[in-house]
Amino acid sequence: MKLRVLVWMAGVLLVLAVGAFALNRWITAPGDMGRVGQVLMTGVDPADVARIQVISPEHTVTLNSTDGSSWTVAEQQDFPVDTKKIKRLFLKLTTLTLDHKVSDEADKLGVLGVLTKEENGGKLEKGKTGKLIRISDKSGKPLFSLVIGNDRQGQGAMTFGGTYVRYPGDNAVYLISDSVVVDLRPADWIDTVVLDVEADKMLKSVRVQNAGQRAVEFSRDKAGAPWSLAGLPAAELNTDQVKRLTNQLAGLDVYKVAAGDTAPAVIGRKRLGHVEFEFFDKRRFTMDVGDAKAKDEFRYISIHAALDPSVKDASLQDWVKDFNQRYKGRLLGIYDWDASRILQPWKDYKKKPAANAKK
């Protein structure tokens, strides 16, 4: 019995080995080496690039630039891009090399996931059509395009490592050792940081007003000083709750931008919470926070900055101007739980009695 099992296992291993060997021979078949050894993108000056498109079966992302340094996401109401992601993409494209030529047979393009939409009968299809990167200049002239296909796999879906890529218009498919990580959702490209300051050094006062609820008003005289809450003795103030609020405001992030024609009721903007806060340098902010349409979804905020008229500092004036140009008229999605920390009712800032306190 044991001998039969051993013979059977040896047979299975032999089949797997032959399959892997055959696949590997197909992948590394001799012949024309094409562009092997070259980096993915050559001859493109980043300063000439004005548009980057990423087209996948799930989404289309269009990134535009007028000066080569600042970028916007067309599908996110032309909201600013996190430029670090642009730099990472260019770094990958200009450093990764074509390691092996895999095939130049047209019937293998779909198997390797490197077809374009047009080559697939006008249809985007996961696993068959790849992620297409198109780069063009201000006039719309194409500078570079690349299809990123499937990850390389062996017998039984065992990953061998590497990713298939192809230049449209050429049937040659190549293997690269690393993947070109590129975000596929438009919202993943935006610059999420609204405010990123030290709460303990910057925030001077906060006022939160929810419809039908008691206003929450915090203030302090100087940076680092303890906060006071109007109507509550200092000894009864829950300082941990205050820290959560101030940290949330000072580290405000957004994660998506609502479409420009979205009806307010659709995204919970019929009923608003109103927040006002001020920095010690006299920058002032007003923010309206909508309701979440479902628990743990996004709440959409609008935000505006102002500067006390007595402040003549030109750099602060420019900062406020730039801030408002960036966010004016936009509805920005923040997570429900982040908004909930900002809109806590007055009673939540009061210390709870100790569990073992005498009645």
Instruction: Judge contact between 92 and 180, C-beta under 8 A.
Output: yes
| pTM of the predicted model as reported, rounded to 2 decimal places | 0.82
Alpha-helical segments (H) within the chain: 2-27, 83-95, 199-202, 239-250, 314-327, 336-342
The reported pLDDT for the residue numbered 138 is: 93
Q: What average pLDDT does this structure show over 98-108?
A: 92
Query: What pLDDT score does 69 carry?
Result: 83
pLDDT (0 to 100) of residue 161: 77
Residue 222, judged by CB atoms within 10 A of its CB (0-12, 13-18, 19+), counts as: exposed
Q: What is the pLDDT of residues 331-350, one digit of tens each?
A: 999 999 999 999 999 999 99
| Residue 265 confidence (pLDDT) | 84
Give residue-wise pLDDT tens across range 69-82: 899 999 999 999 99
Report the pLDDT value the prediction gives residue 293, as an integer from 0 to 100: 84
pLDDT above 70 for 31: no
Checking if the pLDDT of 252 tops 60, the result is yes
pLDDT of 319 > 60? The answer is: yes
Contacts of residue 356, Cβ cutoff 8 Å, sequence gap at least 6? none
Whether the CB-CB separation of 216 and 229 falls below 8 Å is answered with yes
Collapsing DSSP to helix, strand or coil, 106 comes out as helix
Distance of alpha carbon 213 from alpha carbon 335, whole angstroms: 22
pLDDT tens sequence across 141-181: 999 999 999 988 765 544 567 899 999 999 999 999 888 88
Q: Locate tokens 């999605």: which residue? A: 333
Rg of the chain taking only CA atoms, in angstroms = 28
Residue 7 pLDDT > 50: no
Task: Rounding to the nearest 10 degrees, give the CA dihedral for residues 16, 19, 24, 27.
Answer: -140
pLDDT greater than 70 at residue 277: yes
* Strand ranges in the chain using DSSP code E only, listed in sequence order: 51-55, 60-65, 71-73, 79-80, 100-103, 131-136, 142-153, 159-166, 173-176, 203-210, 216-219, 228-229, 256-257, 273-279, 283-289, 298-307, 332-335
DSSP 21-55: HHHHHHHT--S--TTTTSBS--S--GGG--EEEEE
Mean pLDDT over each residue of the chain, to the nearest integer: 87
pLDDT at 19 over 60: no
pLDDT value at residue 357: 53
pLDDT for res 355: 61
Lowest-confidence pick of 104-108, 189-193, 226-230, 258-262: 258-262
Asked whether the CA dihedral 39, 186, 184, 54 is positive or negative, the reply is negative
Q: What is the pLDDT of residue 261?
A: 81
Question: 86: exposed, middle or buried (C-beta count within 10 Å: 0-12, 13-18, 19+)?
Answer: buried
Cβ pair 116, 168 in contact under 8 A: yes
Section 5-33 average pLDDT: 45
Instruction: Report how far apart, in Å, the C-alpha atoms of 314 and of each of 60, 197, 277 are.
Output: 40, 20, 21
Poorest-pLDDT segment among 9-13, 209-213, 239-243, 335-339? 9-13
φ, ψ of residue 165 in degrees (nearest 5): -135, 160
Q: Tally Cβ neighbours within 10 Å of residue 16.
A: 14
Question: For residues 86 and 191, what is the distance between their CA atoms, to the nearest angstrom?
Answer: 11
pLDDT at 352: 84
332 contact partners, CB below 8 Å, separation of at least 6: 194, 254, 256, 257, 258, 300, 301, 302, 303
